[in-house]
Amino acid sequence: GAGVSQSPRYKVAKRGQDVALRCDPISGHVSLFWYQQALGQGPEFLTYFQNEAQLDKSGLPSDRFFAERPEGSVSTLKIQRTQQEDSAVYLCASSLVLGQGSAEAFFGQGTRLTVV
Partner 1 sequence: SQQGEEDPQALSIQEGENATMNCSYKTSINNLQWYRQNSGRGLVHLILIRSNEREKHSGRLRVTLDTSKKSSSLLITASRAADTASYFCATLDPGGGRALTFGSGTRLQVQP
Among 25, 88, 110, 115, binds partner 1 (CB under 8 A): 110
Residue 31: how many CB atoms within 10 A of its CB?
Answer: 21
Q: Output the smallest distance, CB 16 to partner 1, in A.
A: 27
Helix (H, G, I), strand (E, B) or coil at 85: helix
CA distance 96 to 88: 26
Q: Compute the least distance from the CB of residue 102 to partner 1, in Å.
A: 7
CB 81, min distance to partner 1, A: 25
- Report whether 32 contacts 94 (CB < 8 A): yes
- 101 interacts with partner 1 by CB under 8 A: yes
Beta strands 111-115; 10-13: pairing state: parallel
108 binds partner 1 (CB under 8 A): yes
By CB under 8 A, the residues from 23 to 82 that bind partner 1 are 31, 33, 35, 40-45, 48, 50, 55-56, 58-59
List CB contacts of 9: < 8 A, sequence separation 6 or more: 109, 110, 111, 112
Provide the binding-site residues for partner 1, judged by CB under 8 A.
Answer: 4, 31, 33, 35, 40-45, 48, 50, 55-56, 58-59, 91, 93, 98-110, 112
